[in-house]
Amino acid sequence: MNPIEQIKARLEANLPEATINLVPNPSPAGQPSLAVDNVHAVAIATFLRDELQFDYCSNVTGVDWLDRVVSSKEKITKVVDGKEVVVEETKEQKFSGYLEAVYHLYSVAQKQGPVIIRTRTVDRAENAILPSLTPVFRSAELQEREIFDLYGVRFAGHPDMRRILMWDGFTDHPMRKDYEEPDDYEYEPTPHGDVLEKAKRHYVEEQS
Amino acid sequence: MENRPQIDEKLKNEVSKQGIVVTSLQEIYNWGRRNSIWPMQFGLACCAIEMIAAAASRYDMARFGSEVFRSSPRQADLMIVAGTVTKKMAPLVVRLYNQMADPKYVIAMGACAISGGPFKDGYNVLKGIDRYIPVDVYISGCPPRPEALLHALIELQHKIDGQQLTGRSRAEFLDPEQPSEFPIPALGKHDLEPPANTALFRPPSIKRD
């Protein structure tokens, strides 16, 4: 049993009503994380801090997951004209988008970490609310403000929920994947890739 | 210069060998101005570190008369836009420029101040300070070395030397028709409003297929 599973087991033993899912990470980093439910996130963070001595929240970041359709192919045997034929069928599965806040916790006392916990919003619009872990880890304060600024996640229980990088009158959230930046484009001598597409759009608009 | 009698350069050199200095009011006025350009003391990013290095003892900007960095725009002649101008910062930079007294000059130091530099495709960086205020000297580099800043200062001195005090082609700051203040952009919902001062900023437009 590796440490994250031990931690998950201890959390579940002490907070039986909380839902904690292990999110595997197939990348070379191989750092699995714990997706925790929003109602018990503060209790889980407090337990991690006080009982398991994860006393240091080094990093808080946001992730934007758009609505996506995953298509998978399945081989199904069908009876066509009295014969069994193997047919490939594509199945489409729809996932609605959501926003995530990811916390990296370390234990200075035990020289251990990181334990990664994630909280997920219901959707990407009006219900983009997450519980703030600033009352548990003070170091999350500015980074949660940054997530609010760039991703538009509102943190309930945060002492000072304001924009931090962009100005207060700004209404967009630039780190969202569907963010459209303003067309303040100008002369670019050698555009290529995305910039070339942007340049083409700009010059079409300028001519019309 | 239309009606101003020109001093013959050869004659001037000849008499200077005999210990007689001949000059014109314009020449001595510009000589005085160009040798004591007081920059404003403000930096925006890493270019400011190079600006500090240029002002410190090793590169010694004092050799060119610009060691007096003033903390107030009212006392400064030169604004060195040293670093990335974010959109949030841009109105403040324009306001500082407006608060400077004429004659005033601007050096855009480094890739960011010229065009947004490596952040040009981002959402939060102004794509060149010349969108809102007139720039006299551009220096390339990321960041430019202190020598480049000194070179820019020397170029500015050449520009000041060439400025005329009277006549139709007199310097802009002596022409009451020319603006000395520029509108400050507002922080809008999606971008700065307006995104550029169109009276000042005319980027080259290129035709594409």
Q: In this structure, is the dihedral angle defined by the CA atoms of residues B170, B173, B175 and B181, taken in order, positive or negative? A: positive
What share of chain B has pLDDT > 70, as a percent? Answer: 95
Contact A174, B124 (CB under 8 A): yes
Confidence check: pLDDT of A99 > 50: yes
Chain A's closest residue to B120, CA to CA, is A185
A146 and chain B: CB distance < 8 Å anywhere?
no
Q: Is A195 in Cβ contact with B189 (below 8 Å)?
A: no
CA distance B153 to chain A (A): 27
Kindly state whether residue B81 falls inside one of the protein's structural domains. Answer: yes
Count of A-B CB contacts under 8 Å: 48
Q: How confident is the model at residue B1 (pLDDT cuts 50, 70, 90)?
A: very low
Of B124, B127, B187, which is closest to A169 when you measure between CB atoms?
B187
Kindly state whether residue B15 falls inside one of the protein's structural domains. Answer: no
CA–CA distance from B103 to each of B96, B97, B99, B163 (Å)? 14, 11, 12, 11
Give the whole-angstrom CA distance, residue B194 versus residue B200: 12
What share of chain B has pLDDT > 90, as a percent? Answer: 62
CA–CA distance from A12 to each of A16, A34, B44, B174 (Å)? 5, 12, 50, 78
Give the whole-angstrom CA distance, residue A149 versus residue A160: 12
Q: Is B205 in Cβ contact with A182 (below 8 Å)?
A: no
Whether residues A115 and A202 share a domain: the answer is: no
ipTM of the complex: 0.77
CATH number at residue A163: 3.30.460.80
Average pLDDT, chain B: 89
- Please identify which residue in the block is written with the tokens 């407006």: B98
User: To 5 degrees, how large is the angle CA B206–CA B109–CA A181?
Assistant: 50
Of B128, B190, B204, which is closest to A171 when you measure between CB atoms?
B190
Interface test with B, best of A175, A181, A183, A186 (most B CBs within 10 A): A186
Structure confidence at residue B5 (pLDDT): 58
Whether residues A191 and A203 share a domain: the answer is: yes
Q: How confident is the model at residue A186 (pLDDT cuts 50, 70, 90)?
A: low
A-contacting residues in B 65-124 (Cβ below 8 Å): 87-88, 121, 123-124
Whether residues A61 and A134 share a domain: the answer is: yes
Lowest mean pLDDT among A54-63, A78-87, A113-122, B170-179: A78-87
Of B123, B127, B189, which is closest to A169 when you measure between CB atoms?
B189
Q: Is B127 in Cβ contact with A181 (below 8 Å)?
A: no
Tell me the residue range of the domain where B51 lies.
Answer: 37-175+185-193
pTM, to two decimals: 0.84
Lowest mean pLDDT among A112-126, A173-187, A193-207: A193-207
Confidence check: pLDDT of A189 > 80: no
Q: Please state whether A159 falls in left (phi above 0), alpha (psi between -120 and 50) or beta.
A: alpha
Q: Is A187 in Cβ contact with B189 (below 8 Å)?
A: no
B190 and chain A: CB distance < 8 Å anywhere?
yes
Beta strands in A4-125 (DSSP E): 20-23, 33-36, 56-65, 68-80, 83-95, 98-107, 112-120
Kindly state whether residue A167 falls inside one of the protein's structural domains. Answer: yes
pLDDT in tens, B9-23: 888 889 989 998 888
Q: How confident is the model at residue A196 (pLDDT cuts 50, 70, 90)?
A: confident
Question: What mean pLDDT is predicted for residues A143-156?
Answer: 94
Kindly state whether residue A128 falls inside one of the protein's structural domains. Answer: yes
Give the whole-angstrom CA distance, residue B106 versus residue B128: 13
Give the whole-angstrom CA distance, residue A181 versus residue B123: 6
Structure confidence at residue A94 (pLDDT): 86
Give the phi and the psi of residue A174 in degrees, each rounded to 5.
-65, -20
Tell me which residue of A54, A140, A159 sits closest to A102, measured CA to CA: A140
Confidence check: pLDDT of A1 > 60: no
Q: If you compute the radius of gyration of chain A from its CA atoms, what whole number of angstroms results?
A: 23
Structure confidence at residue B179 (pLDDT): 87
Q: How confident is the model at residue A2 (pLDDT cuts 50, 70, 90)?
A: low
Q: How confident is the model at residue A116 (pLDDT cuts 50, 70, 90)?
A: very high
Of B189, B195, B208, which is closest to A171 when you measure between CB atoms?
B189
Lowest mean pLDDT among A5-14, A65-74, A128-137, B37-46: A65-74
Whether residues A170 and A184 share a domain: the answer is: no
Whether residues A124 and A166 share a domain: the answer is: yes
pLDDT in tens, B77-119: 999 999 999 999 999 999 999 999 989 999 999 999 998 888 8
Spell out a b/e string for A166-180, using b for 16 or more CB atoms within 10 Å of the CB, else e.
Answer: bbeebebbbbbeeee
- Residue B40 is classified by DSSP as B
Q: Which residues of A touch B207 (CB under 8 A)?
A: 203
Question: What mean pLDDT is predicted for residues B176-187?
Answer: 90
Kindly state whether residue B30 falls inside one of the protein's structural domains. Answer: no
Confidence check: pLDDT of B207 > 70: no
Confidence check: pLDDT of B57 > 70: yes
Tell me which residue of B58, B53, B1, B50 sits closest to B24, measured CA to CA: B1
Whether residues A42 and A145 share a domain: the answer is: yes
Give the whole-angstrom CA distance, residue B25 versus residue B65: 20
Average pLDDT, chain A: 88
Tell me the residue range of the domain where A35 lies.
Answer: 3-65+98-175
Structure confidence at residue B71 (pLDDT): 92
H/E stretch holding B114 reads helix B110-115
Q: Which residues of A touch B90 (CB under 8 A)?
A: none
Whether residues A47 and A134 share a domain: the answer is: yes
The neighbour count for residue A102, using CB atoms within 10 Å, is: 17
Confidence check: pLDDT of B2 > 60: no
